Amino acid sequence: MTAYIQFARGINEEIVPDVRVTRSKSGNSGTATFYFESPQALTDTNVANDITGMYLIDDEGEMMTREVNAKFINGQAKGIEAVLIMQSAAEWERFLRFMNRYAEAAGLELDRAE
């Protein structure tokens, strides 16, 4: 099983993001906010010039968002924040399958906020 994140096509992001997820009470929509601290996409100038979105790629295919913003501190790029919006229960379930694969590939575990 493979799962990875890209900002420029063909170049996998090595930094594992902090991901915060919210879901509507009805379960029909939700958002996932990804924050990458000092990602390779900003430190490698070849990649930084080719950022076209955030692509979540796994064995099922691809999800993507264009809501990608660099975070700057004192004029220096320090991170990337990307927001993925899910507008249906099917999109939510697809996102969860991707995250399970990504977590397994990266050796992560779920930390539920109380």
Under a CB-based contact definition with an 8 Å cutoff, are residues 87 and 24 in contact?
A: no
pTM above 0.85, yes or no: yes
pLDDT in tens, 8-67: 888 899 999 999 999 988 878 899 999 999 998 888 776 767 888 999 999 999 999 999
Under a CB-based contact definition with an 8 Å cutoff, are residues 63 and 98 in contact?
A: yes
Secondary structure (DSSP) of 8-64: ETTEE--SPPEEEEEE-TTSS-EEEEEEEES-HHHHSHHHHTT---EEEEETTEEEE
Say if residue 1's pLDDT is above 70. no
User: 3-106 has which fold?
Assistant: Elongation Factor Tu (Ef-tu); domain 3 (2.40.30)
Q: Which strands make up the sheet holding 3-8, listed edge to edge?
A: 11-12, 3-8, 54-58, 61-65
Give the dihedral of Cα atoms 68, 48, 79, 76; nearest 10 deg: -130
Query: pLDDT value at position 32?
Result: 97
pLDDT in tens, 74-84: 888 899 999 99
Question: What is the DSSP-derived secondary structure letter of residue 68?
Answer: E
